[in-house]
Amino acid sequence: MRMRVTMIGSGYVGLVSGACFADFGHEVTCVDLDQAKIDGLKRGVMPIFEPGLDDLVARNVEAGRLTFTTELAPAVKDAAVVFIAVGTPSRRGDGHADLTYVYEAARQIGQAVNGYTVIVDKSTVPVGTGDEVDRILREANPSADVSVASNPEFLREGSAIGDFKRPDRIVVGVEDDRAKDVMEELYRPLYLNVAPLVFTGRRTAELIKYAANAFLATKITFINEIADLCEKVGANVQEVARGIGLDNRIGSKFLHAGPGFGGSCFPKDTRALVRTGRDYGAPIKIVEMVEEVNEARKLAMAERIIAASGGDVSGKRIAVLGLAFKPNTDDMREAPSLAIVPALEKAGATVAAFDPEAMEQAKPLLPNVVYAEDAYSAIKDADALVILTEWDQFRALDLARVKSTLKSPVVVDLRNVYRPDDMAQRGFTYSGIGAAG
């Protein structure tokens, strides 16, 4: 059954989710207060880089299933389901999720709803947020006929459309059968494809999101610490990761050693879960340590680069390939580059960088970097090359050209893109992660 869906917030989660729901045949309106963003979307200009998103949006706009507006009330009035997909950044000072935008959206939705409506928290929110959203809605409109649900997203930047359409699971937290029936119908196109639809209580669904991200962040931090041990004892972290990852109780994903995790989810979600645990008198000490170790690791990577460059980068040019926190996105939020590059600059280096998509987002955050038009321009006359984000195009560099372009044949590969023995045979002084050097 075709449903009318409203998505409050047209950022990463709201836009991808809205476009995918429209592709299922639902009638979707995406709302955002940013007039420039809405005007751009109407012209087909995406506010984020996500592979395939521009085509998906264009197809559904042309079919009349996807529209964009800054007017919340008309979009909410006749919707069967209204998603809240606004930002929940870390609050300054205490690390809690800032729910200002969630609560303001709830107030405005409460004033605009007409008839039975399911209001769904799609934003990542701490346990109990749905209770407060429910209270705000009813305060704004005591006669409102609404149910509040939680439907956390599990989209990976760079593969979000595939994740939405072929999910590992769909988690929906509800407190009544009417909401369950509506959400079941909304997701029916996926449910028929045997995607597990997991219904829980609302608070359980809220916690599932944080627990999932904290567990994945813990896996990353664990393998990074094992990588350090490998370097001390003469082992190879990639072989260790394969050896433990073949155990299906562990799994191979998120066992890739590197410079630490970043992005829009893991850092803020681990912080928020830590604060929630403390508030409820149930500290999650493993996650507390994950947060601490991850921040220290980013700075340790800068020290690694300095050591590989002879112990002093003052007056040297360091080429950095990749600035976004991961490939296939332009997202700079909490990217390791935001800690590593300033540390190199503080040590006296000039940093020249290239990223296929993230340079415009990086410029205001890293204003002193020399931004290059391509990888080889960044590398030209550099005293060392650092691979910081594993974009596919950095996996197949012309190594002969790289060597002839560098002032010194020093490569610090923070993603283990290349093989140490091969790089040594080509005459590079190569430093990877998690192998004795």
Q: Residue ranges for the binding site for NAD(+)? A: 32, 37, 88, 124, 157, 268, 333
- Residue 45 gets which letter from DSSP? -
- Residue 155 gets which letter from DSSP? P
Which residue stretches of 5-145 are H helix? 12-23, 35-42, 53-62, 72-77, 100-112, 129-140
149 neighbors 174 (Cβ within 8 angstroms):
yes
Q: Dump the DSSP string for 381-397.
A: T-SEEEE-S--GGGTT-
Instruction: For tokens 């197949």, name the residue.
Output: 396
- Given the residues 20, 30, 230, 265, the one annotated as active site: 265
Residue 188 is encoded by which pair of tokens? 């029916």
186 neighbors 7 (Cβ within 8 angstroms):
no
Instruction: Tell me the CA distances in angstroms from 416 to 233, 238, 389, 406, 420, one per residue in order.
Output: 18, 9, 10, 19, 9
Tell me the backbone φ, ψ of residue 130, rounded to 5 degrees: -60, -35
Helix (H, G, I), strand (E, B) or coil at 128: coil
**30 an active-site residue?**
no
44 neighbors 54 (Cβ within 8 angstroms):
yes
Distance CA 400, CA 79 (A): 59
76 neighbors 6 (Cβ within 8 angstroms):
yes
Distance CA 422, CA 428 (A): 9
385 neighbors 410 (Cβ within 8 angstroms):
yes
Counting Cα atoms < 13 Å in the Cβ hemisphere of 409 gives: 14
Instruction: For tokens 């998509």, name the residue.
Output: 357
Tell me the backbone φ, ψ of residue 157, rounded to 5 degrees: -60, 135
Distance CA 357, CA 389 (A): 11
Q: Could you list the beta-strand ranges (E) of 63-183.
A: 66-69, 81-84, 117-121, 146-150, 170-173
What are the residues facing 373 on neighbouring strands? none
Give the residue numbers marked as catalytic.
265
